[in-house]
Structure 1
Amino acid sequence: MNIGIFSDVYFPQKNGVSTAVKLYKEEMEKLGHNVYLFVPKYSKDYKRTEKNIFEFPAIKFLFEKEQRIALPISTDIFKIKDLNLDIIHSQDPFSMGIFAEFMSKLLKIKHVGTHHTMYEYYRNYLPLIIRPTLKQTQRMIKNWCLKLDKVISPTNNIKDLLVSYGVPEEHVVVIPTGIDINKFNKPIEWDIRKEYDINPDEKIILFVGRLGPEKNIDFLIKVIHEVYHEEKNIKFVIVGDGVERDKLEDIVIDYDLHEKVIFTGGQPREKVLDAYKQADLFIFASYTETQGLVVLESMAAGTPVVALGKMGVYDLLNHENAGGIMIKELNENDFAHEILRVLRDKELYKNLSENAINFVKENYSIEVSVKKILEVYENLLNIDKKQHL
């Protein structure tokens, strides 16, 4: 098949959607398909080396420096028809998603979309004067989904949410975003302990993600403060960058944790994978995740998880042998208690680690996910053929 993937985010932007798109492309190409990406140009200085990527002029989003707003005005538009695309797969409802819908109608190609993000929780990035209401955001999501020939939801929880917005149940198929398990078997190259002078007897507690308010990292710092009262040999390593970094660094100083909390900033994909493998525990308190890829990646590395069980993360950790501990609500004492329990109980730790690896391997490999996505494509193409007979 010739597959066109349209996305408003892609590397070097570091987030779950960028990772998902890259993994889709790599796995589909392994299976012999031709995959073409249509993404915003990141900057004049950034040169892509991957093949089959079409970039469109873009401007920086004023309220989030890493985000780009694509302007689908390019001579590359005239090349799309020559690609003989069989299917279009968009990753969001914004500029590239709108462009994908336009090309779908123009070329009479089936259009699939994945609902990666809980946009309702990201309205705070917009100033009040242009911020949509919750109802308006939900209506926008519903309208986008109804324009698609099929909607892919990463979890049942998110599917139920879309249905509650008015999207027909049969219009949505649940396919978790898989991860490349093989990459977790490679030797570690980025030695975190050496770079940040972490002692061998100190336990590394890890967070990976964008430093935005929806991730509740300020809450996690307070939890670490609680843990530190009972366990001195810890280091909290925060991998990522974002609008809240200055605020979070101030909180660390306020809690006198400047010797216990490390901000590494945003890191290349390879270093992030090394961080998972060296951590003793991964903690996460976001309430906006459609799935929680960072949780899955930590588990794939055999690193147990203590996380808030909301939305997509709930769908992961509510399984009996998932390899993580789910906290029902944002409660500092509950989080701290479970962190200490996992770090101190060697038998529990061993079981969680083994279960995590097996759980991801059996249920969330990129091979399984892409196979299911390709089946969605093929079903739509078969329906289209029958309609034209």
Structure 2
Amino acid sequence: MKILVFSTLFPNNTAPAHGVFIKNRMKAVSEMDGHEVRVVAPVPYFPPIKRFKAWYRFSQVAARERVDGLTVYHPRYLVTPKVGMTAYGVCLFLGALKTVKALEKSFSFDVIDAHYMYPDAFAAVLLGKALNKPVTVSARGSDIHQFSNLAMIRPLLRYTLTQADAVISVCDSLKEMMVALGTPSHKVSVIPNGIDGTSFYPADRAEARQRLGIPLDARVVLSVGALIRLKGHHLLVEAFGRIVAEETEHTCLYIVGDGVERGVLHRQVQALGLGSRVVFCGQVPHGVLVDYYNAADLFFLGSEREGWPNVISESLACGIPVVATRVNGIPEIVRSDDLGGLVARDVPSFVAGIRRALDTHWDRSAIGAYGQSRSWAMVAENVVSVLKRVSMR
């Protein structure tokens, strides 16, 4: 089977970690016998003007490249930042159409596999209609959570879900939301993300701490994620301040990630007198991130909403217990008290959950075995079964 992947969420030469979970899934599919994968990952058109740093990088993305063995095409499409969102899907469709038509002739793909509901999957549905190709669409979490609440985008989301030949969700809670939007339940397959056991695995804690310069005698809480409001770092910092004020042991908080809230969080940390206890690590590559997981006593995620957060899977694969908010797909990952704990999204609950976890003796080997149990190869088999079904429509 020949599969054309379509998504703006895919690694490229300027953003190697962008949409890496989609790359992992489709690389695993490409490694199965009898399947060939190519990727169309459009990027916004922008002239090479360096003073616009956030947008300049798009001009530096290669038109075509190889990413971890996959051939990836990057056609350009017009987008107006922060305005005209209802037109994004059509602009994406028009920008990609020439490239996809050319691939239909040279590659003769059997199915379009799209990721992220809007504008990506919407544009893919239009491409499928233009070329008479079946289309599968995958929901990731933020796409459904965000766009289902926007009155102007919700009809486009419904159109995508009803016109696609099959829908894939990473968790049951997301499937329920899509069914509530009018998607027939039988049309939605739940296929959670997998884990790359060669990138995330249990390792010696002391050695990991030595590599990172983390004190060997500290109790370490780790949080990984974009520094944006909905991830809840501001609540975590406040909770951590209360823990430090009453602690009898030395506890540190390491925050990996970057984003628009970085300055706000820095000021909050200083105001609470936590400058020596909270470390902002910025963005780090996977080769270093695995050390942060293994150096930690506990992983924490305080999100307002999530699909299937890969950071939780990564932590568990390293044998590290997780305390996280009881929202959306998270309870489907942290299924038992042997893996960590689930809490409400408020400061007192964060404090209680973190304290309880730090005072618990955890079986790292059992947590790691659970975290490693769902490989990307297993995910690929589930995905291919859906793609085969729609390709024979």
TM-score by length of 2: 0.83
Distance 2:369 2:339 in 1: 9
Mark the CA change 1:63 to 1:273 in structure 2 (over 3 Å): closer, same or farther: farther
Q: Which residue identity does 1:374 align to in structure 2?
A: V
* Aligned-partner Cα distance in 2 for 1:119–1:21: 14
Equivalent position of 1:25 in the other structure: 26
For 2:71, the equivalent position in structure 1 comes to: 52
Shift of 1:343: 1.8
Aligned counterpart, 1:36: 38
Q: Deviations over 1:9-65 (max 9, x none)?
A: 2225587x712211112211221422111113453335554241000225787469x
- 1:322-333 to 2 correspondences below 5 Å: 323-327=339-343, 329-333=344-348
Residue pairs, 1:12-161, within 5 angstroms? 13=15, 18-32=19-33, 33-41=35-43, 43-47=58-62, 48-50=65-67, 51-57=70-76, 62=81, 72=95, 76-81=99-104, 82-119=106-143, 122=146, 134-161=150-177
Question: Which stretches in structure 2 are left out of the alignment for 5+ residues?
Answer: 44-56, 84-90
**Alignment match, 1:127:** none
CA distance in 1: counterparts of 2:241 and 2:276, whole angstroms? 12
Change (3 A) 1:14 1:298: farther
Stretches of structure 1 that go unaligned for 5 or more consecutive residues are 124-131, 385-389
Could you say which residue in structure 2 is the equivalent of 1:366? 376
Number of aligned positions between the proteins:
363
What residue identity is the alignment partner of 2:166?
A: K
Residues 1:7 and 2:18 aligned together: no
Aligned-residue Cα RMSD (Å) equals 2.9
Q: CA deviation at 1:136?
A: 4.4
SS at match of 1:283: strand
CA distance 1:107–1:62, change in 2 (3 Å): closer
User: Does 1:315 pair with 2:317?
Assistant: no
**1:322–1:376 distance in 2 versus 1, CA, 3 Å:** farther
Contact 2:40 2:100 (C-alpha < 8 Å) held by counterparts? no
Per the alignment, residue 202 of structure 1 pairs with: 218
Q: Do the aligned partners of residues 196 and 298 (structure 1) sit closer, same or farther apart at CA in structure 2, a change above 3 Å counting?
A: closer
Q: Report the CA distance between 1:95 and its aligned residue.
A: 4.1
Listed one character per residue, the Cα deviations across residues 288-339 of structure 1 (whole Å, up to 9, x for unaligned) are 211111111111110100000100112222x236612111x22322322222
Q: Deviations over 1:316-369 (max 9, x none)?
A: 22x236612111x223223222222222232xx22xx3342232333x321221
Determine the C-alpha separation between the residues in 2 that align with 1:105 and 1:75: 14
Q: Deviations over 1:50-105 (max 9, x none)?
A: 241000225787469xxxx9572585344211211111111123344343223212
Percentage of matched positions with identical amino acids: 23
CA distance in 1, matches of 2:258, 2:221: 17
Aligned partner letter, 1:24? R
In the alignment, residue 21 of structure 1 is paired with which amino acid?
I
* Structure 1 counterpart SS, 2:200: helix
Residue identity opposite 2:133 in structure 1: I
**Partner SS state of residue 311, structure 1:** coil
- The answer to whether the Cα contact below 8 Å between 1:122 and 1:214 also exists between their aligned partners in 2 is no
Report Cα offsets for 1:151-207 as digits up to 9, x if no partner.
Answer: 11111111111112221111111111112123224879xx87457642111122111
| Higher mean displacement: 271-280 or 233-242 | 271-280
1:7/1:39 contact within 8 Å kept: yes
Over 3 Å counting, the alpha-carbon distance change for 1:202 and 1:323 in structure 2 is: same
Does the 8 A contact of 2:21 with 2:193 survive in 1?
A: yes
Secondary structure in structure 2 of the residue aligned to 1:5: strand
